[in-house]
Structure 1
Amino acid sequence: MPWLALPFGDERKDSLMKKFKILEIPSLIVIGPSGLTLTRDAKSHLLVHGADAFPFTEETLQELEKKLDEEAKAWPEKVKHELHERHELVLARRHGTTGTYSCDGCEGLGSSWSYRCEQCDFNLHPRCALGKDKKEEATDESPAGYACEGGVCRKA
């Protein structure tokens, strides 16, 4: 990670948790060089963009979202998937606090875009939905622009 962080067990943790009203761990709050809080939810930005989200400025995040939206234009609008044969999955843009979801394929967290079944609330990461048939699984190739690490699929 290209930013400064408190080491694990730092004694300042308790006072910062109170100041920022931290309710869940892990949390990532970004404070800029001026001392102003840039974002209280850097975790979701990392989920979508990885370390490219640094320095977490509004301009950087808007540019990354714009780039991801352009990539999504090449994805099919609807897919059928073996994990959910009952209905078609529709490409959906996730926004705001409802933007994060759990992928029903790999069980990792996702954000920004998903293939979703509105009838069943079934969600797949674009990588999981567009991904691999059984022959391709052995090669472990990801669709262009996506990587999965630790159960989380994100823009590579």
Structure 2
Amino acid sequence: MEVTASNFKTVLPEVEKAIENCTFLSIDCELTGLNIEHNIKAFDTPSQYEKATNVFKQQSYNFFIFRRPVNRNIPDQRFLCQTSSIHFLISQGFDFNKLFQEGISYLNLSEENTYKTNIEETYKKRMEFTSSQSNGTNSDMIPVPDNVQPFIDDIEKQIKAFFEW
């Protein structure tokens, strides 16, 4: 089963259940999903043997993972690839459009913690600003001259109309 950003949330519980119930788990982080050999036998896959039916069972999930930039607080990731690898993957029918358009984005643990901290700090600053603004004690506030206030009000209306549109 192909897992992309569009179906990740719905497929995740199934994947978690498969992991909990499996006898053997294998993760291939390189070329998962390429069908080079079409004559795969039951003993060629890491499957669970069922004595009653004399077969192995297996579940495969192909995760298309492509990291997207979150914002300027987390640097845009660079990646390198060899043209021979790209050529090989294309010759085997790998769908790069699906990878780049529908790939599941992610953060590593360090980036996630940094991102959460930045969000919390931003929220805290906004709350402090809002609190100090309501008390009239914010020294960072720039007073708007009376002759400019109509212009500011007009811009504010345009922005609100844009977001409501």
TM-score tier (shorter) = under 0.3
Query: Quick check: which one's helix share is greater?
Result: 2
Rg larger in 1 or in 2? 2
- Higher RCO (C-alpha under 8 Å, 6+ residues apart): 2
If the length of structure 1 is used for normalisation, what is the TM-score?
Answer: 0.23
Query: Quick check: which one's strand share is greater?
Result: 1
